[in-house]
């Protein structure tokens, strides 16, 4: 068993698998041709793709306990630790904004800032990381349980009972729910998700239950760090708790439907339960039984998870700035040219789209493996 101050190999594997899955679903060759499991649910419901982001926030929570537990016992170190976390969160938030601005920021900076999408994946990770860190440092495990439960109940009440100003009764529709109203009122439509404009899947109000996803990870990490418990005891308890959360999410779904875009409370329990069961299984296989031959590709991704997520978002935008001529005299971006001339000509439409996404994973693995061998780990 690892000492408590060491990284969990199983956590690195889980993180790496999660970020690789992010790249897979975020980089199809053709958004019009995607296999069903690689799509998000159209609204209510939960597909395998919908699990990826909450899993990552869960992992962020687990990581907090391993990074900050030594500081938690020293109240005098709290301020310094929180300031360090705030700096990291600000960098993550800034990287997310840069992705939204790029490449328009270099060609039309005024227009880029006037319409930049403020919410986003990295922005939500930043907020969840910072708030979960503060809650972890300043509260006991029992209080964190109460806070997590309180967040989920409060969000349920707001979304299903509080009337939406100017609209009417509480509802869970895309454009008229309370979260969409808050986003439009505070951020305005110019700064929301461009595909919708009237709401945002990483909006302000839905970040509240996303914090609960992080806090579930915090609680799991704190339990895994308990030195007085045997590994078998930890695994059985965690798997059982994960199963109860999973079932609780399915029951709550009957009244408060699972919805990733709204990040509903049932979605938090369902995904948090699954993540807990998966991590406990990985912990048993990898850290307890020391079966780790298969872990290298996932560890390679897990060691530079944020780096590869950011760069994989930057690359397609950069490639499409490079224009190439087609046989018919038209020009297209480098990415589109490669896809049309290499992948589309050798596969059916849907398999070409998948092959492009898999090629992205393989490409980034080569880059990350070189970084791994050279011990280059970029910490945000």
Q: 332: part of which helix (H) or strand (E)?
A: strand 331-333
Contact 52, 25 (CB under 8 A): yes
Distance between start and end Cα atoms, the chain: 28
Q: What is the pTM of this model?
A: 0.95
* CA–CA gap between residue 247 and residue 241 (Å, rounded): 10
Closest C-alpha to 224, from 232, 210, 137, 149: 232
**pLDDT (tens place) for every residue of the chain, 380 residues total:** 334 445 799 999 999 999 999 999 999 999 999 999 999 999 999 999 999 999 999 999 999 999 999 999 999 999 999 999 999 999 999 999 999 999 999 989 999 999 999 999 999 999 999 999 999 999 999 999 999 999 999 999 999 999 999 999 999 999 999 999 999 999 999 999 998 989 999 999 999 999 999 999 999 999 999 988 899 999 999 999 999 999 999 999 999 999 999 999 999 999 999 999 999 999 999 999 999 999 999 999 999 999 999 999 999 999 989 988 877 778 889 999 999 989 999 999 999 999 999 999 999 999 999 999 999 999 87
* CA–CA gap between residue 278 and residue 281 (Å, rounded): 5
Query: Which 3 state secondary structure label does DSSP give 261?
Result: coil
């Amino acid at each position: 068993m690892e000492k408590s101050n060491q990284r969990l190999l199983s956590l690195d594997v889980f993180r790496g698998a999660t970020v690789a899955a992010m790249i897979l679903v975020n980089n199809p060759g053709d958004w019009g041709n995607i296999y069903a499991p690689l799509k998000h649910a159209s609204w209510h419901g939960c597909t395998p793709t919908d699990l990826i982001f909450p899993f990552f926030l869960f992992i962020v929570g687990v990581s907090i306990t391993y990074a900050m537990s030594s500081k938690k016992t020293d109240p005098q170190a709290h301020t310094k630790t929180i300031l360090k976390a705030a700096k990291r969160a600000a960098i993550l938030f800034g990287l997310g904004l840069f992705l939204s601005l790029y490449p328009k920021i270099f060609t039309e900076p005024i227009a880029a800032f006037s319409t930049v999408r403020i919410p986003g994946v990295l922005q939500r990770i930043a907020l969840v990381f910072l708030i979960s860190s503060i809650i972890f440092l300043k509260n006991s495990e029992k209080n964190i349980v109460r806070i997590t439960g309180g967040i989920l109940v409060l969000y349920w009440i707001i979304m299903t009972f509080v009337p939406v100003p100017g609209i009417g009764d509480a509802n869970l529709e895309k454009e008229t729910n309370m979260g969409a109203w808050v986003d439009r009122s505070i951020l305005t439509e110019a700064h929301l998700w461009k595909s919708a404009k009237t709401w945002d899947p990483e909006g302000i109000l839905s970040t509240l239950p996303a914090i609960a996803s992080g806090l579930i990870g915090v609680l799991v990490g704190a339990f895994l760090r308990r030195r007085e418990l045997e590994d078998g005891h930890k695994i059985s308890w965690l798997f059982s708790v994960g199963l109860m959360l999973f079932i609780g999410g399915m029951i709550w779904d009957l009244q408060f439907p699972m919805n990733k875009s709204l990040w509903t409370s049932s979605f938090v329990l369902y995904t948090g339960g699954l993540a807990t069961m998966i991590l406990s299984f990985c912990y048993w296989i990898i850290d307890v039984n020391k079966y780790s031959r298969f872990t290298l590709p996932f560890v390679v991704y897990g060691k530079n998870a944020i780096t590869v997520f950011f760069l994989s978002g930057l690359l397609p935008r950069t490639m499409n700035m490079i224009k190439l001529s087609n046989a018919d005299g038209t020009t297209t971006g480098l990415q589109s040219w490669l896809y049309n001339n290499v992948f589309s000509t050798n596969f059916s439409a849907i398999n070409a789209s998948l092959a492009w996404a898999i090629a992205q994973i393989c490409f980034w693995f080569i880059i990350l493996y070189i970084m791994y061998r050279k011990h280059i780990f970029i910490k945000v």
